[in-house]
Structure 1
Amino acid sequence: MNLTILYFASLRESLGMAKEAVVLPADVASVGALRVHLSARGETWQRLAPGNNVRAAVNQHMAADEQVLAANDEVAFFPPVTGG
């Protein structure tokens, strides 16, 4: 499955990229599975691991770890933000 992944704010800075295109293995079919897959890349990527305070959106809609992914989805990861 092909996806576009976007990283925002401090995630973009720590990971050293704003965007990437990935081809996922068949067993990575949800946002949670994607987070596990990406966090396996190494220590810096552990920020994306499930349970960490990182939000996800799929096709510009907030998504929980249970959200099923489809080919050509756009997944964005970002730290929580506050406004005032």
Structure 2
Amino acid sequence: MILINYFARYREQLNLGGEKLPLTTSLKTIEDVRQMLMARGEIWNSVLGESNLMCALNQELCHLNLAIEDFDEIAFFPPVTGG
């Protein structure tokens, strides 16, 4: 099982803060998870298909090609700026 969280405008656009999904053999990286979610439909493809999408694995910023394991927490969020 993996936990996926959506933050900021992604949460608003998807109308979903997070979800739990079973970790299958086809889900080896964060990119695999992203591709599976984007296949859900137009809004998913639009939100998670952004080229500047940011992600974190177990609360640490990372790249989409990072391997995942059971019980990992993945977060997707738009770029942020400080102020």
Fold shared by both chains (TM-score > 0.5) = yes
Alignment partner of 1:58 is 2:69: no
Paired with 2:24 and 2:51, the residues of 1 have a C-alpha distance of 23
Q: Structure 2: which 5+ runs fail to align?
A: none
TM-score computed with the length of structure 2 as normaliser: 0.92
TM-score computed with the length of structure 1 as normaliser: 0.91
Once superposed, which parts of structure 1, at least 4 consecutive aligned residues long, lie more than 3 Å away?
A: none
Paired with 1:52 and 1:43, the residues of 2 have a C-alpha distance of 16
Aligned-pair RMSD on alpha carbons?
1.1
Matched AA of 1:33:
D
Paired with 1:24 and 1:36, the residues of 2 have a C-alpha distance of 14
Paired with 1:22 and 1:52, the residues of 2 have a C-alpha distance of 24
Alignment partner of 1:82 is 2:81: yes
Q: Structure 1: which 5+ runs fail to align?
A: none
Matched AA of 2:9:
S
Paired with 2:51 and 2:10, the residues of 1 have a C-alpha distance of 12
Question: How many aligned residue pairs are there?
Answer: 82
Q: Identical aligned pairs, as a percentage?
A: 39
